[in-house]
Structure 1
Amino acid sequence: MDPHGQNDGPQPLVERAISVSAEFEGDEGIAAARALARSFLADLRTRHGMTVSASAEGMVQLVVSELVTNARKYAPGPCLLSLEIRDGAVQVSVWDSEPSLPVARTTDPGRVGQHGLEIVVAVCRSFEMHREPVGKRITATVMPADDAVGDEGSDDIRR
């Protein structure tokens, strides 16, 4: 466009982000959050032609479940879940009203429960926590397709 707002010809197309967001409250929100993740991944496959492996689908649902569970357990009020494709990966982001950042506990095979953060960090390509003006946002990134080594290892485990 010229300085007067006139179009000087064809403009490049701007890619639209592929994302979905929802608010969840109460324990029933955890199952609904996993269902939203399944729907989002199915949409990636059918409408956008992306490859989403079965193990990646399971990992995204696991990450969503753990992050939303923690938000529901430790923060008052609703939590917000966003799923988005960024740089070819699924970015899972959960906001809640509690400003305190979670702390991963040291490994303890005898401890029952409270391993969610350890699991999320272990299965994700990246993991970030940020305080916000109100509350905090936790973001984890999962690759939608396995690499060749991961696929072979998965086959061995299934046998």
Structure 2
Amino acid sequence: MESPPDDSASARSVAAGFLAEHCPWADPAAVQLVVTELTANAQQHTAGWWRLRLRAEDDEFTVELDDSSTRLPEARVPDFGGRGGFGWPMVLRLAGRVEVRRHARGKTVRAVWSRPAIAADPAAAA
């Protein structure tokens, strides 16, 4: 998905639809919050484009957001006066693994969730 002009609502909607179809085991609320934060940060902190990619595999779900800034995300002390600082720590808590990589045109933030292990059926072990 290429960056829409004004908001992250369409990215959140695309993520919800993708999850429902391809990855029903992933937590939709966590994924939508991460997508919202990553796209909102790209809109706020870059002067250019962003691109969202979603990938579902058997045991992993991945959200990748490319943007035009080489500046890496950093945790800040949250500011209840309206200056933010809540999003990046939330992304780090909600995703199972987060990676950030700079490249020639900006950076990529990758958030990965692993499929939860299925508990063994105690009746089957008896």
What TM-score results when the alignment is normalised by the length of structure 1?
0.66
Task: Check 1:51–1:114 CA distance in 2 against 1; reply closer, same or farther (3 A cut).
Answer: same
Q: 2: CA distance between counterparts of 1:125 and 1:88?
A: 12
Aligned length: 116
User: What stretches of structure 1 move > 2 A for 4+ residues in a row?
Assistant: 25-28, 50-53, 142-148
CA contact (8 A) 1:59 1:142 kept: no
Within 2, Cα distance between the matches of 1:140 and 1:71?
15
Would you say 1:23 and 2:7 are equivalent positions?
Answer: no
Written as runs of structure 1 = structure 2, the 5 A alignment for 1:1-159 is 22-28=1-7, 30-44=8-22, 50-52=23-25, 56-86=27-57, 88-106=59-77, 108=78, 111-112=79-80, 113-143=84-114
1:144, CA displacement in angstroms? 5.3
**RMSD over equivalenced CA pairs, Å:** 2.0
* In structure 2, C-alpha distance between the alignment counterparts of 1:77 and 1:139, rounded to whole Å: 19
Q: Percent identity, aligned pairs only?
A: 33
8 Å Cα contact 1:51-1:144 kept in structure 2 = no
Larger Rg: 1
1:23 partner SS? coil
- Give TM-score, length-normalised by structure 2: 0.81
Looking at structure 1, the residues matched to 29 and 10 of structure 2 have their Cα atoms a distance apart, in angstroms, of 15
Task: In structure 1, list runs of 5 or more residues that go unmatched.
Answer: 1-21, 45-49, 149-159
What letter is aligned with 2:49? P
Change beyond 3 A, Cα 1:59–1:144? farther
Whichever residue aligns with residue 101 of structure 2, its letter is H
C-alpha distance in structure 2 between counterparts of 1:91 and 1:140, whole Å: 6
Shift of 1:81: 0.1
How much does 1:25 deviate? 3.2
